[in-house]
Structure 1
């Protein structure tokens, strides 16, 4: 039982916040996601995938991680298989590290949608790249510990109803948000951020660290 970190193949930067989120978690790597283990100083207990994205020159301790091998032609991604392995081991919480970015936008979208589905099934989920993080929003109220000025968005995966946002530069009070609307994109924390949702599927995407200047 407990929290598992799933190392995925997307972009990942190490930050003090990320270190604290990963502390004490069991670790499973999904194919090329094992490349993040060296940077994070972690040794996974299991390595899952079809192994078509194995990083070159892995240190011996990582190359020797027990493997669960799947064929390249399969009906689930390596990331979903790694998550399934964690759930089989009793995971009640998941940190999906490397869930954004990388070469596959379809995989990134899958991780967002899968996180919402897992949350609806009672699994705590955090998606992170180190620089940004996503948290599924379920009907009800949730509070967040972000500092003033933190950029955040509420991403809707359906029409949303009864959405309220307080502790923000642009608060909302029990609004309806159509699927695909940009109303809830690019807000800023101002005080204690709380989000309440009446009905729908959504995810909070926040940037705890400043975005690089373009």
Structure 2
């Protein structure tokens, strides 16, 4: 599906491949098409190798046994980064590394599905890095990203859009949604903005006074 990459100017988003449910090869191929810097997390390395993808970095806590030399021989050059810190998830540590190396954006796949605890953690932890790096989680049904204080984008009428707070988010105002919010608050577990949609073809605007809000562009 992919050979080693030639673009190194950090103009395109890096690609992080986590270890959850695989997305379609079509979606993965689209994300690889821009020759991104590819970071693979822990045991996902074996599924990545089966697909013929040659990552630039393989990182994780490596709490299971691996034949590092054999893998390094199959994927050359490959930077192997051991991150034994158990306080952060592998995805958080990958984002830390990309921030440190000056990447402005990262696309993330295989971060949802399989284990629900990993899915929830991966999605909600995006907000920790929102001021340092632009991040988007992709799967076959969703595109998920943290919103800045002010956001606008053109959407076709009927596009499903869910506003999911991480904790409590205050002062949410929207324009262009079927169910508008006018300075209201959302709190995870009590009230969310799930299953809203674009009211018509045009710009949707969302502003937030305080808190961390995720936007999920979803389809069935």
TM-score by length of 2: 0.75
- The 1:43/1:163 distance shift into structure 2, 3 A limit, reads same
Taking the aligned partners of 1:39 and 1:205, their CA distance within structure 2 comes to 30
Q: Structure 2 residue aligned with 1:31, among 42, 50, 57?
A: 42
Instruction: Report the Cα distance in structure 1 between the residues aligned to 2:103 and 2:65, rounded to whole angstroms.
Output: 25
Given that residues 164 and 188 in structure 2 are in contact (C-alpha distance below 8 angstroms), is that contact kept between their aligned partners in structure 1?
no
TM-score (norm 1): 0.77
Residue 96 (str. 1) matches residue 108 (str. 2): yes
Pick the aligned partner of 2:143 from 109, 123, 133. 133
Aligned counterpart, 1:194: 205
Matches within 5 A, 1:45-56: 45-49=56-60, 50=62, 52=64
2:153 to 129, 144, 147: 144
Alpha carbons of structure 1 residues 187 and 62: separation in structure 2 relative to 1, 3 Å: farther
Structure 1, unmatched stretches of 5+, are: none
**1:20 Cα deviation after fit:** 4.5
Mapping 1:29-108, distance limit 5 Å: 29-35=40-46, 37=48, 42-49=53-60, 50=62, 52=64, 61-62=74-75, 65-71=78-84, 74-103=86-115, 105-108=116-119
1:39: Cα distance to partner? 7.9
Relative to structure 1, is the Cα distance of residues 20 and 48 closer, same or farther in structure 2, using a 3 angstrom cutoff?
same
Flag as ranges the 4+ runs of structure 1 deviating above 6 A. Answer: none
Counterpart of 1:204 in structure 2 is 215
Q: What's the counterpart of residue 160 of structure 1?
A: 169
The corresponding residue for 2:186 is 177
Residues 44-66 of structure 1 deviation map (CA, whole Å, 9 limit, x = unaligned):
10111216397xxx9x7459744
